[in-house]
Structure 1
């Protein structure tokens, strides 16, 4: 993964970020609640500012991103997005490892919520996340650094 570069997202990246969100999440959201394009578009843009995203590029092409909020006592992972054609090639693991390293430096856990129908649930488990709670649609998960 030495060829992946990270950069802060800018407002001009929001269209790409939303399209990548839609490509990667629409099926799971539709199966869970149904997909309302207007609602999803507004929710994404209103709740996820560009500044919360870090974008992964390879050869100057955007291939993935993550959004994380650094809370007082933990990191909250809003989402990890990887273009479908780049999935299962280590990009998501690379991105999540970046978040885990930052959390380890602060000796804080990383928490997230994932839809039960999303195969990313198993991905997070492989990277050491444990289910800490659940509801009808989603699982709450947490990864605790060894130093915490």
Structure 2
């Protein structure tokens, strides 16, 4: 099963699909990354612009990005690492004006169903200081599998 094949919500409103190479704009992706995560990265590790750009480009490969569409409008993206033993959700970012509308919750349900059907678990981590994300994942019913000094880690098992 190809995890990154397009997925459309039951009501045909939200679609997850690959970003065409011609439309992949790493500067715009990094900008949303910074806008969304700087407030958590900075107090945890400090924010060094050059280091963060280099880390972003090295850690989040073009092939891992999937756009989140509402209708035909791209409103965010996810980065999925499709590994042999698991699928790791590295990023789920929405444009600020689309946050709080239930889009992230629906995206997570779509991803959890697709990954579960592959027979592998879905894993993800979030900053310990990102209480909004922690509440979001708790509302989704996710259980914490581990914590360290900076991160909370989740594992959603495949349903067989």
| TM-score for both structures, normalised by structure 2 | 0.83
Distance 2:57 2:39 in 1: 19
- Secondary structure in structure 1 of the residue aligned to 2:101: coil
Once the two structures are TM-superposed, the CA of residue 140 in structure 1 deviates from its matched residue by 1.1
Deviations 1:21-69, CA, capped at 9 Å, x for gaps? 1111010111211111111111111111121011012354321111111
Give the equivalent residue in structure 1 for 2:52. Answer: 40
- Secondary structure in structure 2 of the residue aligned to 1:129: coil
Give the equivalent residue in structure 2 for 1:131. Answer: 144
Give the equivalent residue in structure 2 for 1:4. Answer: 14
Distance 1:50 1:69 in 2: 11
Distance 1:30 1:110 in 2: 27
Distance 1:96 1:15 in 2: 25
Q: Counterparts of 1:1-148 in structure 2 under 5 Å?
A: 2-11=12-21, 12-118=24-130, 119-147=132-160
Stretches of structure 2 that go unaligned for 5 or more consecutive residues are 1-10
Stretches of structure 1 that go unaligned for 5 or more consecutive residues are none
Q: Is the 8 A contact 1:110 1:144 kept in 2?
A: yes
- Secondary structure in structure 2 of the residue aligned to 1:141: strand
| TM-score for both structures, normalised by structure 1 | 0.90
Paired residues, what number? 147
Q: Is the 8 A contact 2:116 2:122 kept in 1?
A: no
